[in-house]
Amino acid sequence: MSTALSRNTLRGIWPALITPWSDDGELDERRFVDEIRAYAGTGVNGIYTGGTTGEFYAQDDRTFERITEVACREGHAIGVPVQIGCTALSTRTVRRRVRVAVDRGADGVQIAIPFWLELKGDEVTAFIRDVADEAGDVPLILYHTPRAKRMLAPALIAEIAASVPTLLGMKYPSVDVPTLRTILRLVPDLCVFVGEDSLLPMIREGARGCYSSVAGLNARFLVDLYRLAAAGQYDEAQTLHDAVHRLVTEVLWPMVHDEGLWDSAVDRVMRVAGGVDVGLKCQGPYRSAGPEHVERLVAWCRSHAPVLLGQQGTEPG
């Protein structure tokens, strides 16, 4: 059985699930099942769909429903809780997707605020309250991202948290130390999740963990980093943190900034390099990575941080 999510249990490493696509652009269900089952026994605290990694923006309703059903079934089968990303462009669509997630047994619902038009403060509050009403007792996690065009001030976050008791946490990869400190001063029990390359310093400031795409490369490694940091073994965690930081700055960011790949493509590179066949194909119009990117990542790890490959490293091809 998976652990029920609460302000005490929502923590740790949550890998982002990739959506494998078939040659005709539909969900490749067999590979999606394999992707989830590969996290069994790795020590991760849960799994989640949606976000950029899962290409939520490319999912029609039928695809979303099937992804949700498979993720909940398979995640619970390996004993971990499942969060379903329900982000969309309108309250109506988000509520419809939340109903699907709750009906299929999701342990949590992850949402970003609608992003086509920048929301005003009262619109943000109304949106989150409406979604919470649809979700009932199922916890909410806010994906707080600049891609939503509206970043919320800590005071507004605190106001929303006070009026929405089921809002347990935030995925906030870009948060800095002063902002994190302010949020946790105003809402001490809010579970804030940060990016992989800031996990160690942010754990020291009270962050609860990481919603992670690097876990696709080596989940056990990220779990070890989190456990050491959470236990206050900062010196031991530092070496692991440095390896992740170098991976991000020396390999992943250049793929994004110099070669024009988006996160969804780079996250696939890591998962394939980690030994799981999710394919490299992204939904258009966004470009996909190629085998050469997998080869480059594996070669860099072997030369600079072989611990990142562990037993998951595979020969690309």
Q: What is the pLDDT of residues 209-226, one digit of tens each?
A: 999 999 999 999 999 999
Q: Answer yes or no: is 113 within a domain.
A: yes
Q: Answer yes or no: is 302 within a domain.
A: no
Q: Answer yes or no: is 291 within a domain.
A: no
Q: Answer yes or no: is 17 within a domain.
A: yes
Q: What is the pLDDT of residue 30?
A: 97
Sign of the torsion formed by the C-alpha atoms of 9, 14, 16 and 17: negative
Round to whole Å and give the CA distance between 140 and 223: 23
Partners of 85 in beta bridges = 110
Q: What is the pLDDT of residues 104-133, one digit of tens each?
A: 999 999 999 999 999 999 999 999 999 999
Average pLDDT over residues 136-150: 96
| Token pair 């970043």 in the structure block, residue | 151
Containing structural domain, residue 126: 12-235
The reported pTM is: 0.94
Q: What is the pLDDT of residue 3?
A: 72
Tell me whether strands 167-171 and 191-194 are parallel, antiparallel or unpaired. parallel
> Number of folded domains in the chain?
1
E strands, 105-220, are 108-111, 140-143, 167-171, 191-194, 209-212
Q: What is the pLDDT of residue 1?
A: 59
What is the domain-level CATH number for residue 178? 3.20.20.70
Q: Burial of 180 by CB count in 10 Å (0-12 exposed, 13-18 middle, 19+ buried)?
A: buried
- CA 49 to the chain's CA centroid: 7
Q: What is the pLDDT of residues 60-69, one digit of tens each?
A: 999 999 999 9
Average pLDDT over residues 235-254: 96
Round to whole Å and give the CA distance between 312 and 163: 44
Q: What is the pLDDT of residue 312?
A: 45
Q: Answer yes or no: is 275 within a domain.
A: no
Q: Answer yes or no: is 47 within a domain.
A: yes
Q: Answer yes or no: is 209 within a domain.
A: yes
Q: What is the pLDDT of residues 248-301, one digit of tens each?
A: 999 999 999 999 999 999 999 999 999 999 999 999 999 999 999 999 999 999
DSSP string, 151-165: PPPHHHHHHHHHH-T
Q: Answer yes or no: is 86 within a domain.
A: yes
